Every structure is written in structure tokens, then in C-alpha cells.
Amino acid sequence: MSYPYQIKSYDEYKEVYKKSIQDPEGFWGDIAKNFAWRKKWDKVLEWNFSEPNVKWFQGGKLNITENCLDRHLEKLGDKPAIIWEPNNPEDHSRTITYKQLYNKVCQFANVLKNNGVKKGDRVCIYMGMIPELAIAVLACARIGAIHSVIFGGFSAQSIADRLQDAKAEFIVTCDGAFRGAKDIPLKSVIDDALIACPFVKKVIVYTRTRTPISMIKGRDVWWEDEILKVESQGDQTCDAEEMDAEDMLFILYTSGSTGKPKGVVHTCAGYMIYTTYTFVNVFQYKPGEIHFCTADIGWITGHSYIVYGPLSAGATSLMFEGIPTWPDAGRFWDIVDKFRVNILYTAPTAIRSLMGFGLDPLKGKNLSSLRVLGTVGEPINEEAWHWYDEHIGKKKCPIVDTWWQTETGGTMISNLAGITPAKPSFATLPMPGVEPIFVDENGKEIEGNSVGGNLCIKQPWPSIIRTTYGDHERCRTNYFATYPNLYFTGDGALRDENGFYRITGRVDDVLNVSGHRIGTAEVENAINMHSGVVESAVVGYPHDIKGQGIYAYVIYTGHHSDDDLARKDISATVARIIGPIARPDKIQFVKGLPKTRSGKIMRRILRKIAEGELKNLGDTTTLLDPGVVEEIKGGKL
């Protein structure tokens, strides 16, 4: 593969950026020529942000897996597409070449077909980080089924909510997953979820942990048995379904400030082009290099920069089953040395957690293969940035700080490794085609440099969210209605004197815990489901490792035991309803919550108290009962 669209200098970036904004259709039309199409598009872009209605490459026909697999077979067929490192360092790693991956995807696509999956059907994938997860994703794309991957840490209730919302009739899962010292009983969680989802027709189960599981006749089948059936059928190839550019590729659920998680929809062509373009440019990928993105495929980062972006670029993508701290805090560095990794892309929370172990885990690690480092998911503090730079990159590797979202599909603001300048804790400059703008609360544009504001984007880029599954109005009100004719990100940001962007964090009621997005309303609902809880209010507070921690103020009447046990019960309830990632870090029992006369909780005050800032709480005169603030301030955890 060669990448004629790879930007090679800062000057070129400036030039390309200018063109991309002046003539987005010409710009993206040129880039799209580097992909495999069954039929060329008629029109590059049609859009309005009022409905919203965004269509890229209308009339074009393609299949993303022909771009990720077929087109590489001739030249890269024997090159590794996926390298997989298991949880246990003593087990064998696996290398899957492009040819092998192509065969496996075709085989499993046939398994899906044999089990009744058709174009447009929704397939939920709930698996650990094993190559079969990527294979299942690609097999869906091959036959035009819409995948919806659910992170292995979500509870049965969360899965049931998503299955119902997506009306997914098919599930691909594993018996269990290995993560560090733990075995996660995935199939058993699915069984619990399915009590509320009788419409699910088939569950395909891959064997990973060989933990005993129930297999219901007529509904549950083993992956391995189904592969044998395909093998006995003879021809194992599977023609790719011809997809419209704007056909749905996948749904991925993510939290917002209200209600249940929404299903963000991405479509085939625009998503493919943007993830490939940003992968090649941000990391400055060179053919033959090994790219290690440590995210889970259950999140957008894994979709875009483990699976689709790298594979479409013909890259080698390293997938890791385990966690950074098991069997010890040197695991990432062992993997880097074992496979001579060139690009390491991880989250600030992982860096901060590893930083906490000191330099011992780095003893004897070489790390000289590293060329580029990346971060994603949350703001990176300067201390972590410098530790990453000095101790991992040895001051020789550019660090790209990539700001983006589930809804944006790919990186929106980031430096290009070694090409455009880096600045600690700044995502720096927009990608070509991306036009950020700041507005104040009233939607008035804040122009110039050395300013801050609510971050919006002015015109569509190819992988912008198209809709929220089953509820287009929700997409409009969430992202396109706050400020007319702009996409609102939900983030606040600063622009420095040189026009470099620094993302400061969410300005809505969304938390970012260890780089994972969690809605305060969702956590409150889960807490309120605990028997004895009358009401609760959840806010974020600065947490040394997680970035943000979850602080819950709870009115509780169920005291039959001590407070600590009650806290543990509430935490268990949240883990049961949402998943362990949403467990509150701190629970404070209170008698009342600070509310305005109209009944709105004043979170600003609760946030300040959670941050330990007991003075300067601002104006409390509008409170119904200012006395509650004193009670909360004096309260214990």
C-alpha cells in the first residue's frame, strides 16, 4: 500500500487544510479515489444540520471488507493483519495474515448466513479481546449485517436495553473472557440478559475459557461446530454484499446527559474513508509497521483504530486480550519488546496508572522499536504527558493527543506525528476537513485566539454520526439543536495564541471515568433502584488515576446495617444495573439535596463540595433550603 494522501510537512498540512475547508467535495472526492468501489459515487456530499441529513458519496457502492481484506490479498496476503497477544504471557500469541483473516472472515460470514442472518439484521457482539471478535465484526460487514459490539464489562441489564433498542435477533459471544486474574462469564451474563429478550433467535458461542455454560437447544450453537458445517459444505468463500455508501455499518451505544445510552449509527463509505485517512496521517503509518492500540473493540477507539482504519490501510494491528497491570505493571512494555511495536496508542488513565508503579517495571525493557506514541479518551495532564515522553518515548517519539468521540467516528483534532507541532495537554490542530468553532451559551461565535468556549463543528466530515438508532429526533436534539446549524460536541475547549486547541472536558452532565463515558443520570437511576434510596445526585470529581471519579450524594432510609455495608450494597446495585465501570468511588449519605425552588438540583454546588472546595460555593440564595448545603459540607463519607 502507498498513501498518496499522507501529509509530509507542516506547510503541506496548512495547504491541505485550507483546500479541505474551501472545497470539501473536491478534497474528499480525491481521497475516496484511493479505495475499492464497486461503483463510483454520483455526488460527494449533500447535507443540512437542521434535520440533520448528511450523505457522503451518494450512489457509490462498496463493501468495507473488500477494502480491509480483498484488495490487500495480492501484495500483502502473507503479511500479518492481526497479531494477538493473550492475557497470559505464557500462552501462545497468534499471527493472522491478510490471507488467513480473509478466509476466516468468509467462513464466519457463511456461519452467520447459515444461522439466518441477512443484510440489515442487527448482530450484537459480546466477546473478550480475541481475534474472533474482529472476525465477527468483519463477517457482519461482509454480509451487510449491522454489528453492535457491547463492551464485556456491561451488565445483563445494559445488554438487554441495547438488544431491545437495536431489536437485535442474533448474538455472538464467548463462554468467558480472561482479563488479568479474572475470568468473566460472558455467556452467563448473556443468558441473564435474554430473559428479557425472547426475540433473540440465535446465540453463537466461541470457546475461550471452557467454563461450563448452559446451551439452550434451538437457540445456542457453538462457533466451532458451525465452522465445521461450513467446511463440510465445500466452497468457503463468501462474496461481499454490495452496500450503498450510506448503508448502516454499525451501531455503537454511548451515554449522554439524559436517558438511556443511545445507539450511534455510522455508515459504510464515509466511516471507512475517514478512519483510514486519519489513521495514516495522525500516526504517519509506514507500511510494515506494527500498530498497538490498547483499547477494547467494545469502544469506538477499537472499532476505528484496531479494526477498520488499520486494516483498510493494510497495516498490522496488534490486539491484546489482557490488562496493563497483569501479571505485572510491565506488561505493555513486554508486549512492545516482544513484537517490536512501532506505534503505541493508549489512554491517559493507563499512563497515570502505570506511572504510579514507578520506574521498576521499566527495568530491562528496551522500547527502542517505538516511533510514535498516542493518547485518547480524556485530557492528558502535563505530568503524565512528560512521563510518557521521557520514560516510554525516550524523548524521541512524537506524542499525538487525539481528540474525538464515538459520534465523530475518527480523530478530529490532533497533531500529526512528527509533522505538525505537539504541545503537552493540547490536542493542537484540526484534521483536514474539520472546522471547529467556539460559541458562548447563547450560541454566539467566539472568534480569535486566546479564547475558550463550547466546542462545535461547522461542517460535516465523512464519519459524522448519521442518526441515533430508531430515534432520529434524539440525534437532532442532542447534537444539532443546542446551536442551530452546528454540531455540538458537549466539550469545552480553549484556543491558545497560536490557534492550538486544548480540550478541557465535558460541559454537560456526562462523566469521563478512565476514558469511558458515563452519564450522571444513568448512575443516579441505578442508585435509585436500590431499595431504601429515596433520591440521589451524581457528580464527577478529579481523580488521580481515572481522571474523573464518581461522587454520589444519596438520601437513604434503609439503614438496618452500618453505613459501609449500605455503600457496598448500593455499589453492587450499580454494578448489576450498568456494570462495574459505573460503580461510585464515593457515596455520601445526606438528608437533602440542594434544589432550586423549581426542583432542579444545583450540581454546581455538589461538584464544588466533591472537589473539596467548601468555600466560594457561589450564589446559594436561589435554593429552596440553603440549610442542606451546610449539612452536606459537614457530612462524612
Helix axes 520-528, 563-577, angle to 10 degrees: 120
Please state the closest distance from residue 505 (CB atom) to ligand WT7, in A: 6
Closest C-alpha among 346, 347, 339, 348 to residue 316: 339
What single DSSP character describes residue 413? B
Q: CA of 162: how far to CAs of 156, 191, 194, 264, in Å?
A: 10, 14, 11, 12
Please state the closest distance from residue 585 (CB atom) to ligand WT7, in A: 19
Closest C-alpha among 532, 576, 573 to residue 554: 532
Please state the closest distance from residue 161 (CB atom) to ligand WT7, in A: 17
Please state the closest distance from residue 500 (CB atom) to ligand WT7, in A: 13
Closest C-alpha among 240, 339, 331 to residue 289: 339
Nearer to ligand WT7, 55 or 502 (CB): 502
Please state the closest distance from residue 83 (CB atom) to ligand WT7, in A: 22
Nearer to ligand WT7, 27 or 305 (CB): 305
Looking up cell 471515568 gives 513
Nearer to ligand WT7, 57 or 461 (CB): 461
Please state the closest distance from residue 305 (CB atom) to ligand WT7, in A: 9
Nearer to ligand WT7, 58 or 504 (CB): 504
Name the 3-class secondary structure at 516.
strand
Please state the closest distance from residue 155 (CB atom) to ligand WT7, in A: 18
Closest C-alpha among 205, 208, 225 to residue 216: 205
Buried b vs exposed e over 450-486: b needs ≥16 C-beta within 10 Å? eeebbbbbebbbbbbbbbbbeeeebbbebbbebbeeb
Please state the closest distance from residue 518 (CB atom) to ligand WT7, in A: 9
Greatest C-alpha distance within the chain: 77
The residues near 461 (Cβ < 8 Å, ≥ 6 apart) are 270, 274, 408, 410, 412, 431, 433, 434
Helix axes 223-232, 98-114, angle to 10 degrees: 100
Please state the closest distance from residue 295 (CB atom) to ligand WT7, in A: 7
Closest C-alpha among 425, 478, 483 to residue 454: 483
Nearer to ligand WT7, 176 or 309 (CB): 309
Nearer to ligand WT7, 129 or 230 (CB): 129
**Separation between Cα atoms, residue 290 and residue 81, nearest integer Å:** 10
What single DSSP character describes residue 380? P
Closest CB to ligand WT7 belongs to which residue? Answer: 406
**Sign of the C-alpha dihedral computed for residues 16, 22, 28 and 30 taken in this order:** negative
Name the 3-class secondary structure at 627.
helix
Nearer to ligand WT7, 376 or 457 (CB): 376
Nearer to ligand WT7, 378 or 524 (CB): 378
Please state the closest distance from residue 428 (CB atom) to ligand WT7, in A: 10
Closest C-alpha among 131, 127, 17, 19 to residue 83: 131
Nearer to ligand WT7, 305 or 589 (CB): 305
Q: Which three cell numbers stand for residue 287?
A: 507500511
Binding footprint of ligand WT7 on the chain (CB under 6 A): 254, 299-301, 376-379, 401-406, 427, 489-491, 503, 505-506, 512, 515, 517
Nearer to ligand WT7, 411 or 571 (CB): 411
Please state the closest distance from residue 521 (CB atom) to ligand WT7, in A: 16
Please state the closest distance from residue 151 (CB atom) to ligand WT7, in A: 10
Nearer to ligand WT7, 342 or 408 (CB): 408
CB 175, CB 99: distance < 8 Å: no
The residues near 366 (Cβ < 8 Å, ≥ 6 apart) are 337
Nearer to ligand WT7, 342 or 402 (CB): 402
Q: Which three cell numbers stand for residue 244?
A: 450503498
**Separation between Cα atoms, residue 266 and residue 409, nearest integer Å:** 7
**Separation between Cα atoms, residue 387 and residue 355, nearest integer Å:** 7
Q: Which three cell numbers stand for residue 81?
A: 493483519
